[in-house]
Amino acid sequence: MFNSLSRFSPQLLGILRIVAGLLFLAHGIVKLFGFPPGAQPGQQEIMTLLGAAAIIEVATGTLITLGLFTRPAAFIASGEMAVAYWMFHGPRSFYPVLNQGEPAILFCFIFLYLAAAGAGAFSLDGARGRVGDG
């Protein structure tokens, strides 16, 4: 039964890319614009580390969602999440469940996978005929 699902791999990869990209974009929007109100950490000053993270998250989240320049955008986003984990979450506790680092870990490895696998279906990379990205 599960082998028959393999024929949907490009579509499921595309859906994973879109969902992860939208969620990542939402994290950047909170930091860049403070939207939605009350979401943490809220709007950040641009010239801070979290401000720089916001710019990276909005830019790469948008590119990943659209499936445009997916591999380099996902690689950059993966790196940002690795840095975020080791700078902010890891020092709090060895255990991700205690240091609230699970989202950073998941984003890091999802984006690392997208950097290797490409955009999948429903992507502008694929529409542009970029080999291995569609």
pLDDT band of 133, cuts 50, 70, 90: low
Which pLDDT tens digit goes with each residue over 84-119? 999 999 999 999 999 999 999 999 999 999 999 999
Which pLDDT tens digit goes with each residue over 2-59? 788 899 999 999 999 999 999 999 999 999 999 999 999 999 999 999 999 999 999 9
Q: Record the pTM.
A: 0.92
Q: Is the pLDDT of residue 60 over 80?
A: yes
Q: What is the pLDDT of residue 130?
A: 64
Q: Is the pLDDT of residue 132 over 60?
A: no
Burial of 73 (0-12, 13-18, 19+ CB in 10 A): buried
Q: Is the pLDDT of residue 134 over 60?
A: no
Place of tokens 């696998």: 117
Q: What is the pLDDT of residue 88?
A: 96
- 3 state DSSP class of 20: helix
Q: What is the pLDDT of residue 26?
A: 98
> Does residue 41 contact residue 4 with C-beta atoms inside 8 Å?
no
User: Rounded to 5 degrees, what are φ and ψ at 12?
Assistant: -65, -35
